[in-house]
Amino acid sequence: MPGRTTDWSPGDYLRFGDERSRPFVELVARVPSAPSTVVDLGCGPGHLTAVLRARWPAADVVGLDSSPAMVERARAENADPRARYVLADVRDYALGRSAVTGADVVISNAALQWVPDHRTLLPRLADTAGQAFAFQVPGNHDAPSHVLLREVAARAPYADVVGPVERRATADPGEYLDLLARPGWDVDVWETTYTHLLHGPDPVLGWISATGARPTLDALAAHDPALRARFEAEYGAALREAYPERPSGTALAFRRVFAVATRAA
């Protein structure tokens, strides 16, 4: 998973593993290919390799991630002994500068939003795929969870440490269609809003602390662990108000945007 942070925490990320996995399952099901090689860009802790193996049992699967902690976890778990996990950056891959090169299918789940100006790389990433290029990115950066992150981080004393929190600009399906629809390609784009029912104390804070809020929390912790704790208390209170607990749990609406570009026959 690319990103400006000290490193990612596989354990925190997998706390809501089932909810985070569902979009990938639905993305993979829409890829109409029979590849012999698959590259998973931003593979994280390797927990989704089984989805690729179930879809394409005979394929050579390579997971690529820029996080040493994620690659180490993927290798240690070894959920698929036939898969390989490589430490590499998505931008380097797109530009042909990584040890891993093109595959029949190139796929990415909730990772490209961390790549600066990822939209300019999409045609290059598609060109590395012999059969299909597919990805999913969050489209919820104007949801209360992210708006409140930016608002609380902009207050004193946090703003002096973290500066403005970037609104990661993923696109709508139509824009991804325009970027990928070229001669020789068939493109399928869509969006889905999932409503996840989360449980436990401060579940929305737990969810976003492993992903969208991680760079902010890391910056505060590096400066002063007590400041991070103060921020989490303030941000957590705002999240509890925005996402009230119900008798059945805490509902988190999460919009995701999908694209599958397939080389025309």
What's the pTM value of the predicted model, to 2 decimals? 0.87
Measured CA to CA in angstroms, residue 52 lies from 27, 32, 56, 106, 110 at distances of: 11, 13, 6, 11, 15
- Give the domains, in start order, of the chain with CATH numbers: 10-263 (3.40.50.150)
* Rg of the chain (C-alpha set): 19
Are the C-beta atoms of residues 242 and 30 closer than 8 Å to each other?
no
The tokens for 37 are: 């090689």
Closest C-alpha among 99, 89, 84, 48 to residue 67: 89
Q: Distance between CA 75 and CA 181 in Å, rounded? A: 36
State the chain's maximal CA–CA distance in angstroms. Answer: 58
- pLDDT by residue for the chain (265 residues), tens only, comes to 333 445 544 554 445 557 778 899 999 999 999 999 999 999 988 888 989 999 999 999 999 999 998 899 899 987 788 999 999 999 999 999 988 888 999 999 999 998 988 999 999 999 999 999 999 999 998 999 999 999 999 999 999 999 888 776 789 999 999 999 999 999 999 999 999 999 999 999 999 988 888 889 999 999 999 999 999 999 999 999 999 999 999 999 999 999 999 999 7
- CA 105, CA 142: separation in Å to the nearest integer? 31
CA distance 201 to 210: 15
Alpha helices per DSSP H over the chain:
10-13, 17-29, 49-55, 68-77, 90-94, 118-127, 144-153, 159-162, 173-180, 203-209, 214-223, 225-242
Dihedral angle computed from the Cα positions of residues 14, 104, 112 and 43, in that order, rounded to the nearest 10 degrees:
20
- Number of neighbours of residue 79 by Cβ within 10 angstroms: 14
